[in-house]
């Protein structure tokens, strides 16, 4: 059964955040809130976590996983960014955007797009996600909690706990965090290509 944690959306209880971070380091797969919607998250190098996310969402090997980072310095360890792209991303973070970029050697091969060698990265504007990332000290390997055959992500923590009780290890609930996934921008060619229109304003990339 999954553990259920009810946390304050703006001032999450540190004791709870520490407990969840410790469980992630021990291999747990968790559901946590972001500034766009709930996401599935596990430790960066967890093969079991990746396989469980693929199974829950029925994803193929072309799916771009996302490294959810605490800040720009952390993000820069995992992707290559030239100066023009750097400015565009810097102006849009933290926020509801996922950026697809060429990955560095720090990224496990299993996370890369098989042909492009790219990975998704983002910096969320959400107090609970930020607290968890600060406690972990490394990115969370993540994917939007969008179940197969569903058009919108799940929004209620208690419903997530009920439905995914035997396939995830913990659910962090801080209230409704929306149903619209991030806007996805592919910068792997050096030019902005809008892959998915979502919660982030696309006008600055058009």
Q: pLDDT band at 186, cuts 50/70/90?
A: very high
pLDDT at 205: 87
Structural domain that includes position 14: 3-196
The first and second tokens of residue 58, run together, are 């029925």
pLDDT at 79 over 90: yes
We report the CATH number of the domain holding residue 110 as: 3.90.870.10
The pTM is what?
0.94
Q: DSSP H helical segments within 3-156, as ranges?
A: 14-25, 47-57, 72-75, 83-90, 127-136
Rounded CA separation 64/78 (Å): 14
The first and second tokens of residue 127, run together, are 């107090």
Residue 165: partners with Cβ closer than 8 Å, 6 or more residues away: 1, 2
Task: Please indicate, yes or no, if residue 179 is contained in any of the structural domains.
Answer: yes
Task: Please indicate, yes or no, if residue 203 is contained in any of the structural domains.
Answer: no
Rounded CA separation 13/74 (Å): 24
Q: What confidence tens digit (pLDDT) does each residue in 17-47 have?
A: 999 999 999 999 999 999 999 999 999 989 9
Check if the beta carbon of residue 106 is closer than 8 Å to that of residue 78. yes
Task: Please indicate, yes or no, if residue 204 is contained in any of the structural domains.
Answer: no
Task: Please indicate, yes or no, if residue 202 is contained in any of the structural domains.
Answer: no
Q: What confidence tens digit (pLDDT) does each residue in 102-139 have?
A: 999 999 888 887 788 999 999 999 999 999 999 999 99
Average pLDDT over residues 169-190: 93
The residue among 13, 6, 46 whose CA lies nearest residue 170 is 6
Task: Please indicate, yes or no, if residue 206 is contained in any of the structural domains.
Answer: no
pLDDT at 62: 77
Task: Please indicate, yes or no, if residue 205 is contained in any of the structural domains.
Answer: no
Phi first, then psi: what are they for 68, rounded to 5°? Answer: -90, 115
Q: Which helix (H) or strand (E) holds 162?
A: helix 157-163
Rg (C-alpha) for the chain, rounded Å, is: 16
Q: How many domains does one find in the chain? A: 1
């Amino acid at each position: 059964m999954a553990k259920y944690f009810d946390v304050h959306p703006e001032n999450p209880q540190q004791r709870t955040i520490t407990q969840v971070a410790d469980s992630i380091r021990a291999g747990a797969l968790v559901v946590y809130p972001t500034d766009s919607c709930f996401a599935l998250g596990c430790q960066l190098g967890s093969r079991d976590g990746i396989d469980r996310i693929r199974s829950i969402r029925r994803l193929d090997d072309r799916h771009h996983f996302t490294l959810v980072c605490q800040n720009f310095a952390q993000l820069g360890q995992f992707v290559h960014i030239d100066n023009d792209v750097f400015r565009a991303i810097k102006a849009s973070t933290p926020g509801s955007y996922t950026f697809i970029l060429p990955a560095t050697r720090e990224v496990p091969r299993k996370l890369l797009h098989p042909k492009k060698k790219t990975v998704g990265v983002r910096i969320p504007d959400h107090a609970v996600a930020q607290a968890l990332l600060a406690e972990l000290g490394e990115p969370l390997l993540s994917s939007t909690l969008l179940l197969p055959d569903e058009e919108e992500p799940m929004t209620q923590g208690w419903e997530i706990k009920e439905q995914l009780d035997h396939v995830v290890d913990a659910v962090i609930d801080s209230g409704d965090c929306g149903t619209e996934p991030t806007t996805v921008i592919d910068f792997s060619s050096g030019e902005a290509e809008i892959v998915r229109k979502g919660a982030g304003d696309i006008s600055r990339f058009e």
